[in-house]
A and B are shown apart, each in its own frame.
Chain A
Amino acid sequence: MNDLLLVLNDPDRFDFRVRRSAMVDPAVLERERRGIFDRCWIYAGHESEARAPGDFVTRTICGRPILLARDSAGAIRVFLNVCRHRGAVVCRERSGNARGYTCFYHGWSYDRDGRLDGVPGETSYPPGFDRSQFGLMSPPRVDVYRGFVFVNFDANAMPLADYLAGAKEYIDLVVDQSPTGEMEIIRGTQEYAIRANWKLLVENSFDDYHLMSTHSTWLDYMKRAGVAIPKPAKGHLMPSHGVGKALGNGHAVIDNENFRGRPVAKWIPPYGEEAKAEIERLRAELVQRLGEARARRIADTNRNLLVFPNLMLNDGSSVTVRTFHPAGPDRMEVTAWALGPKGESAKARAIRLDSFLTFYGPGGLATPDDIEALESVQQGLATWREVPWSVMTRGMAKEGEQLNTDELHLREFWIWWDRYLKAQ
């Protein structure tokens, strides 16, 4: 099995194929868990989700329950949410503020810094029992880039800043839209499952080739709402120009001229006349703070960024932070949040959230069709023995620039996916 070619990459013959068993074989998923999810930097949450000492959120990443919390000094910490005694989770609430964390099973308690500070009946432990040896544990590595908290289960992993490589430039484009230099996760989480392999959502999240056919009803809605949807240029499929780029270490992006409006800061009619002044004010602030060129870069382009392997930052109709984990070869669990500038005006926040819901999320006018598409693929992949390969060659014969509707960025994901699996 380990020797079976899963990604066929032959640039000389313009051939690139992915073996479909990679989306259905439980053995491949096991290799991914060890070779990718336990070796790459994985998004755990955002600093804004825990603000004051004792604030916490709980979630599951890479199959492990974690606590993202502020300790007594106000520093961001990630703990494995598990008691050192016999293994129960020590916090069963989604979020809150805690003096500490007490395992209800036998009553071991931990303070905000993860120190074991209470053991019922401690005198029955043998001499030498040392509480300080039994604090809450953390993943081997925890690091933060501009508010985004990552963990790594490989103690020998390269530093996060090196790992992020060219993705940093695109994270900066998201964060720099905030006058305070800080973004925050907005209250309200969209958590949903898709009956499809997790890698299909990587592809889908920045695959503009599907936009015109999968999302024609969204485009129709935008047109009827008064948004100018330009006719694609000759030989193009999209209303505006956009490119696909590799950013190193498996990260990749599509980078598009905006036509669909942006809360920061490109007004479109569905925002309403009354929103015009606010959008203009936000744009003026960008220009004043960052200069005309950088302001245009932020306000007039949409960027869907993959941070390898499973974080998407879609800075389009709004900013969405979307991460997803496999729950089997044919099922993934998706969590999506809206991200906005800290201290954003109430008016701008309302525009941002309204714009989010037109496209994104399980009740949006577009995302449900993506879910349907991925589940439809997963059903089709049951024929993987008879139809073993998916084709991913768009743009391969082109010199230079690759379009957002080409597949360079998808190939980049798969090349690195394959590299990590082989490196085991």
Chain B
Amino acid sequence: MTRQDVEDFLYREAALLDAWQLDDWLELLTDDAQYRVPSNDAQGGDPKATLYLIADDIQRLRGRVTRLKDPQAHAEFPHSRTRRLITNVRIVSADERAVHVECNFAVHRFRRDERVGQYVGRYRYTLRLTGGEPRIALREAILDAHELASLGAVSFIL
């Protein structure tokens, strides 16, 4: 994959998430995909030994999506509006099976009552090439904020 291929893929993913097309988004993942958000003070770790904010395997991630589509998921009902800006895309390493990517993100989240959150940080992706199509095997969102603080929760897919 070229950087442009990677960018096209990431922009498509961002558009699906901003549009809350979560079932379509799940299609971009491998069957053993992992989605992680580390705790703000422990960014380099292993979720088996370190407390994360989110460390989903594919089962819990699918459950998370099922939950987010339910109006009883109060933290995201009505849904937040989000706008994802993705930039500084770099292919860190690549072989014939997978591409490791890092990029920066600024995810703006808007809730009712002027509650606005700016989630800023970097993504680490492992994109696996299966049948020529990239699929997300690992997606880690590493926040720059020292504390989650007024961002409050990571209740949507960051």
Which residues of A pack against B, CB within 8 Å?
94, 186-195, 214, 216-218, 220-221, 224-225, 270, 333, 337-338, 346, 349-350, 353-354, 356-358, 361-363, 365, 367-369, 371-373, 375, 379
Contact = CB atoms under 8 A, between A and B. Distances in A.
Contacts of A363: 37, 52-54, 153-155
Interface in B84-120: 113, 115
Interface of B: 37-42, 45, 47-56, 59-60, 63-64, 66-67, 70, 72-76, 113, 115, 146-155
B98 to A, nearest CB: 24
Given A188-B45, A189-B39, A338 B51 contact: yes
Report the 5 A-B pairs with minimum CB-CB distance, sorted nearest first.
A188-B51, A368-B75, A363-B54, A368-B155, A350-B48
Contacts, number: 133
B152 A362 contact: yes
A218 B8 CA distance: 35
B43 to A, nearest CB: 9
A365 B67 contact: yes
Contacts of B72: 216-217
B152 A191 contact: no
Contacts of A367: 153
A362 B147 CA distance: 12
Nearest to A376: B74
A153 to B, nearest CB: 24
A346 B39 CA distance: 19
A362 B54 CA distance: 8
Mostly helix, strand, loop or mixed at chain A's interface? helix
B41 A188 contact: yes
Contacts of B50: 186-188, 353
Contacts of A379: 113
A217 B47 contact: no
B67 A346 contact: no
Given A187-B49, A188-B45, A353-B55, A333 B149 contact: yes
Nearest to B68: A217
9 contacts: A216-B72, A224-B63, A349-B49, A357-B54, A362-B152, A363-B54, A368-B154, A369-B75, A373-B74
A216 B45 CA distance: 32
A191 B149 contact: yes
Given A353-B48, A379-B113, A362 B74 contact: no
A367 B152 CA distance: 10
A221 B75 contact: no
Given A363-B54, A368-B153, A224 B66 contact: yes
